[in-house]
Amino acid sequence: MTTASLSLDGKNYELPVVTGTEGEVGVDIGKLRAQSAAITLDPGFTSTGACESKICFIDGEKGILRYRGYPIEQLAEKSDFVEVAWLLLYGELPNAEELAKFRGQLTYHSMIHEDMKKFFEGFPNNAHPMAILSAMVASLSTYYPESETEDHHDENIARLIAKVRTLATYAYKKSIGQPLTYPQNKLPYAENFLHMMFAVPCEEYTVNPVMAKALNMLLILHADHEQNCSTSTVRMVGSSRANIFASISAGICALWGPLHGGANQAVLEMLEMIQNDGGDYKKWVKKAKDKDDGFRLMGFGHRVYKNFDPRATILRTMCEEVLAELHIDDPLLQIAENLEKVALEDEYFVSRKLYPNVDFYSGILYRAMGIPTNMFTVMFSIGRLPGWLAHWKELRDEDSRIYRP
């Protein structure tokens, strides 16, 4: 198939067809308006692709997710987050030299300008860390005003991956009134994050390897997901040639919403609510099915996955393993498993193909690691950052047109 025909008001239009790597078909309507004055209408973009991309592949029917051709299961088991970040950004897994250099860059850029610490003093203690993170990331552009020149793109990419981790932990330390903890050059990426989150000046802190392993895996599972809401936002903003910091800040804001990355916070709040209400999970499944009731089962459903979310499958197993290794008996895990069981057998959820998504089990893991609920979406941001950056880079490298639906 090389063309598709559209018949409109008695006229025929031949539209080019683009075929993806696995035979997926896209009808290219780019010239339709110029030829016929008609546009296509697709609120929510359920049938619309906005770009060609080589970064991520999803088959929602089969539950397949691949980054640059590598299955997510393989990356989650065999790689660490920094390797996966490189893979997304540069198209192949790094060799030893590339990896060492990249790790070195992430260490070199991990501190933030001392003056930026003053910004944290201006936020109220109860400020949501996502608000702080997006503001801080946009503010980075004031320190790197040369960021628009192309030869700085790779340096700024490393800067962002290194500094977002530091800024995230500073937002947390600010919210609990503790002094900020500086990064330590000897620590790898995930360990350094845990150190900055949990170390206090008055006592020794040693990173628990179980937590570091779990964190690496969580970040890998969140690292990219093709043209989702926040990634599309990064591309949209980047298409106006806004700088990299502004574009990523916009992505953080888009991720914050409860229908997107904010769902992980919403899931945990929902599980706590069910627990505080006596644990009757069946009552909440009933409420989720009631169209007159605004309640939705958070962590269920996905625009693309229609059988299972492979990330949720990995996370469920990891959740049980990590809780056992850390000797944590969390009653919320039991509620989550019961909810999942009931919903998966219920006609409402089965007929709409609503399955647990990545956010359903991630919150229980973060909680086991001591990460507070309002930081969950920040964790998602740290994980998704290499994906956003890879898409921003792809867009800029191909000199795309400004997005204007």
Q: Which residue is nearest to ligand CMC (CB)?
A: 301
Q: Is residue 6 within 8 Å of 12, Cβ to Cβ?
A: yes
Q: Is residue 218 within 8 Å of 379, Cβ to Cβ?
A: yes
Q: Tell me whether residue 397 is one of the annotated catalytic residues.
A: no
Measure CA of the first residue to CA of the last residue in the chain; give whole Å. Answer: 27
CB of 248 to ligand CMC, least distance (A): 17
CB of 375 to ligand CMC, least distance (A): 17
> 359, 391, 397, 399: which one is catalytic?
359
**359 counts as binding ligand CMC under rule CB under 6 A:** yes
Q: Is residue 333 within 8 Å of 319, Cβ to Cβ?
A: yes
> 195, 260, 302, 391: which one is catalytic?
302
User: Which of the residues 4 through 43 are near ligand CMC (CB under 6 A)?
Assistant: none
Which residues fall within 8 angstroms of residue 282, CB to CB, at 6 or more apart? 342
Choose, by CB under 6 A, the member of 162, 298, 315, 364 that binds ligand CMC.
298
Size of the site for ligand CMC (CB under 6 A): 21
| Burial readout 91-111 (b: 16 or more C-beta within 10 A, e: otherwise) | eebbeeeeeeebbebbbebbe
Report helix angle 376-397 to 229-239, nearest 10: 40
**235 counts as binding ligand CMC under rule CB under 6 A:** no
**263 counts as binding ligand CMC under rule CB under 6 A:** yes
CB of 154 to ligand CMC, least distance (A): 27
DSSP string for 165-231: HHHHHHHHHHHTTPPPPPP-TTS-HHHHHHHHHH-BTTB-----HHHHHHHHHHHHHHS--SS-HHH
CB of 362 to ligand CMC, least distance (A): 9
**282 counts as binding ligand CMC under rule CB under 6 A:** no
Choose, by CB under 6 A, the member of 192, 216, 357, 381 that binds ligand CMC.
357
- Tell me how far apart the alpha carbons of residues 271 and 257 are, in angstroms, rounded to a whole number: 18
Q: Which residues are paired to 81 by β-bridges?
A: none
**228 counts as binding ligand CMC under rule CB under 6 A:** yes
Q: Which stretch binds ligand CMC (CB under 6 A): 90-98, 115-123, 239-247, 301-309?
A: 301-309
- Tell me how far apart the alpha carbons of residues 76 and 222 are, in angstroms, rounded to a whole number: 10
Choose, by CB under 6 A, the member of 94, 129, 183, 299 that binds ligand CMC.
299
Q: Tell me whether residue 302 is one of the annotated catalytic residues.
A: yes
**Dihedral sign for Cα atoms in the order 58, 63, 65, 71:** negative
Q: Which stretch binds ligand CMC (CB under 6 A): 85-93, 128-136, 320-328, 355-363?
A: 355-363
User: Where does this chain bind ligand CMC (CB under 6 A)?
Assistant: 44, 225, 228, 259-261, 263, 288, 296-303, 352, 354, 357-359
Q: Which residues are catalytic?
A: 302, 359
